[in-house]
Amino acid sequence: MSNKSNKALLHLTDVSVTVENKQVVRGLSLTIKAGEIHALMGKNGSGKSSLSNALMGHPYYTISAGSAELMGQNVTELQADERSRAGLFLAFQYPQAIPGVTVANFMRSALIAHRGKEADMRGYRKELFAAMDELEIDRDFAGRYINDGFSGGEKKRLEILQLFLLQPTMAILDETDSGLDIDALKIVAAGINKFHTAKNGILLVTHYQRILDYVIPDYVHVMIDGNIVKTGGPEVALELEEGGYEVFQPAKTAVGA
């Protein structure tokens, strides 16, 4: 870790997130530097997906307090599309189906958005197919409608395909491992490892330790009730696997406090 750059890609200080006036993330701080992989682990409802969505700019999730900086820039000043073009990416837990819009057309629009309207797109087909081959996605998917009738595993692979093509600086992968059988998990994990370089950062949001056997994190954070309660190396994930989240449960404060 010592030879990695010190540049902070994502810098969260005391971030709170609210959904419909309910606070779901409470004063969370986290810094991810170039070259690092962080795993954010927590049970359903711990606030990890809310944090992911809020960072990407989902209109229902508000960063209500604290500061969130993406490469030194305050993200709350940016719309979702601007955050994406600034280098942020979110692989969704539940990717949306968009009937009638083909994967090929969608990815082309996204790439032009990133590269500029004057970008030379003549090699696009090759680029798309190469990425699909790499992730073992049937080329037929280029002509299919986005996530329309896709299985859970196919949806997750499509998310990684987008990660590959858009090459973000900071990628948040929200439960990309859930719903995958072991073969699909290995392909997705290989994809993530292939994507990862000393220049980008990954926040791997997950419920289970399983994917961490294939994508080795530099740091593991345990999230409970809207905040990080423990940070450590990969061994933390193993502790979780053995003892469950209860081990990290902070001492209960008085009810109603």
Residue 151's Cα: distance from chain center in Å?
20
Q: Can you tell me the distance from the alpha carbon of 119 to that of 142, in angstroms, rounded to the nearest whole number?
A: 20
Stretch that binds other proteins, among 13-21, 33-41, 105-113, 181-189 (CB under 8 A): 105-113
Q: Can you tell me the distance from the alpha carbon of 29 to that of 229, in angstroms, rounded to the nearest whole number?
A: 11
Q: Which of 13, 64, 105, 167 binds other proteins (CB under 8 A)?
A: 105
Q: Which of 7, 14, 125, 194 binds other proteins (CB under 8 A)?
A: 125
Q: Tokens 């406090």 map to which residue?
A: 257
Q: Can you tell me the distance from the alpha carbon of 110 to that of 62, in angstroms, rounded to the nearest whole number?
A: 25
Q: Can you tell me the distance from the alpha carbon of 221 to that of 207, in angstroms, rounded to the nearest whole number?
A: 11
Closer by beta carbon to other proteins, 117 or else 252: 117
Q: Can you tell me the distance from the alpha carbon of 20 to that of 94, in angstroms, rounded to the nearest whole number?
A: 20
**How many positions of this chain bind other proteins (CB under 8 A)?**
46
Residues 20-39 that bind other proteins (CB under 8 A): none
Q: How many CB atoms lie within 10 A of CB 21?
A: 7
Q: Does 101 bind other proteins (CB under 8 A)?
A: yes
CB of 235 to other proteins, least distance (A): 33
Q: Which of 4, 124, 225, 239 binds other proteins (CB under 8 A)?
A: 124
Beta-bridged to residue 49, according to DSSP, are none
Q: Does 90 bind other proteins (CB under 8 A)?
A: yes
- Token readout for 244 is 């469950």
Cα-based distances in Å from 173 to 89, 207, 251: 8, 12, 30
Sign, CA dihedral 189-191-192-197, equals positive
Q: Can you tell me the distance from the alpha carbon of 57 to that of 78, in angstroms, rounded to the nearest whole number?
A: 8
Q: Does 195 bind other proteins (CB under 8 A)?
A: no
Q: Does 136 bind other proteins (CB under 8 A)?
A: no
Q: Does 100 bind other proteins (CB under 8 A)?
A: yes
Q: Does 58 bind other proteins (CB under 8 A)?
A: yes
Q: Which of 16, 162, 200, 206 binds other proteins (CB under 8 A)?
A: 162
- Token readout for 112 is 């032009």
Q: Does 84 bind other proteins (CB under 8 A)?
A: yes
Beta-bridged to residue 32, according to DSSP, are 10
Q: Which of 145, 195, 214, 245 binds other proteins (CB under 8 A)?
A: 145
CB of 253 to other proteins, least distance (A): 35
Closer by beta carbon to other proteins, 121 or else 198: 121
Residues binding other proteins (CB under 8 A)? 56-60, 79-81, 83-85, 89-90, 92, 95-96, 98-110, 112-114, 117, 121-122, 124-125, 128, 139-140, 142-143, 145-146, 162, 166
